[in-house]
Structure 1
């Protein structure tokens, strides 16, 4: 059966789940083979109670029985979850089911879950920072080349005050001048890059000269054509600390910053390749222990 037979919501939610798995979130949530969450279905749920959200073609699927493929089985399971979510939202609108488990998926609970995930990811980065603080800087090796490297960003400040995202993706990336040769001109020794969060390129990093060695000192960088500035602490070869002013954090968000939001947001970064290497090593260790 062609994948075009399935309704649009199925492809959207499946893509969301695949993206979550690709970034290791399925592992962090301890989810099973179908790591969906109730909010995943909210985007295209109709307000009409009799709207199933499926196309006319998808009615064919409900008549299929017997040995269903894994794709069909996934569709049926997700359709059941979607219908349950629809019922929960309908009960909430009509004032029914106030004591049901849907309260567990309130925005406050979701934010708390995301904070726990952020703190779990931030912990080893803070440990690396503490280690750097306790080591003499003069004994540090030269800083590895930044060009061509991407650092995933984690921040409890961001989770508390920024636009809520079901599957957040935040990073700071530094471009390799060799890859862009012919497209743009770089002054000798300089690189640039961008910061991505809230589903957008939040800041285009202006050209700068990377530090030669890791340091606890913060480096001031300009962005968006000197319209913004922020600070980065390259304290070792695999981690960094990023401090961004509130006006830059909300530069391209659809909401205004809450009054209680801090003036400076702190983000903790880890090199994506290094993080993936640690994750694979952990998987191998767990496999050997079985």
Structure 2
């Protein structure tokens, strides 16, 4: 670095930050200037202010060079921050890679569940085409359906809010009023949850009694949205949701790049069944007991256990 040459802009920003806020530099302070973690840097691009052709080391970690080209009075501090910045960049790259892998895992899982609901849809369509009578629906009150959508993963994936669901419940539940037990005619409410800021609450409606492909629009309590439901069975449903609900918390998102509406494929959530499956999985993974270890089973010295 030539004498008098300016250091990278990120360094001056961080120095000003430490003076203004009277604190040391923290790891996330570097993030504002690290913009290339998603791709391999182009050799023609540079984050520093060095002139083309100069002996610039701004884009390389200190470990790549045994010499320091800058020897100003703050050189030690500059190279210390430079090393920390490189570590932070690598950390962000690893985090981004993990997020991509997790997103793909979620996408594949939701794709499988989509296919399960699609299969239920095809079965209902085939039954209706043959004039077969479909079974009646049990009450959907107190039921929760987990929602799956590859499109939603593609456009709105959020590792913080991975669960999407719709639930239905009686209006009087949770109150102290003494009422007759609810009947099949008792009106119910519902709630659609996509994340903490996106979703809607449904106005009172009479629960459906028959499975099928018929579409039912359930208005929200403000009369602004009306997601459309198809109740295929006691375990499966399809709901189409206006794009404005999906992007309720990010109005600046380029919505024209996303589908309108979004289609979600719901599968009834059975807490007891899921707990049973978790317990079974835990049992399969459980290590052998101390009295049945590989050593005792395989090693001659294990004979002590039988004395």
Q: Report the TM-score when normalising by structure 2.
A: 0.55
Relative to structure 1, the CA distance from residue 89 to residue 228 in structure 2 (aligned partners, 3 Å threshold; closer, same or farther) is: farther
Q: Does 1:266 align with 2:263?
A: yes
1:47 matched to 2:29: yes
Give the C-alpha shift of residue 115 in structure 1. Answer: 1.3
Secondary structure of the equivalent of 1:150?
A: strand
Q: 1:242: how far off?
A: 0.6
- The alpha-carbon deviation at position 280 of structure 1 amounts to 2.8
Q: Quote the offset at 1:135 in angstroms.
A: 2.2
Are 1:175 and 2:169 an aligned pair? Answer: yes
RMSD of Structure 2 on Structure 1 (CA):
4.0
Gaps of 5+ in 2: 1-25, 32-82, 287-307
Give SS of 1:173's match. strand
Hey, what's the Cα distance between the residues in 2 that align with 1:156 and 1:260? 15
Inter-partner Cα distance in structure 2 for 1:142 and 1:89: 64
Residue number in structure 1 paired with 2:74: none
TM-score by length of 1: 0.58
Counterpart selection for 1:118 from 110, 129, 132:
110
* Contact kept? 2:243, 2:255, Cα under 8 Å: no
Shift of 1:45: 6.0
Maintained 8 Å contact 1:219/1:232: yes
Which of 228, 231, 236 matches 1:231? 228
CA distance in 1, matches of 2:87, 2:200: 39
C-alpha displacement at 1:286, in angstroms?
Answer: 10
Alpha-carbon deviations, 1:124-171, whole Å to 9, x = none?
Answer: 222222222222465222111011111111111111112522450111
CA contact (8 A) 2:216 2:229 kept: yes
Runs of 4+ aligned residues of structure 1 deviating over 4 Å after TM superposition are: 106-110, 180-183, 281-288
Q: In structure 2, what is the Cα distance between the partners aligned to 1:278 and 1:110?
A: 21
Hey, what's the Cα distance between the residues in 1 that align with 2:281 and 2:162? 28
Kept after mapping to 2: 8 A contact 1:250/1:257: no
State the distance in 1 between where 2:123 and 2:87 align: 49
- After superposition, the C-alpha distances for 1:241-270 in whole angstroms (9 at most, x for unaligned) are 010111122123465243210111000111
**Rg (Cα) greater in structure:** 2
Distance 2:216 2:158 in 1: 29
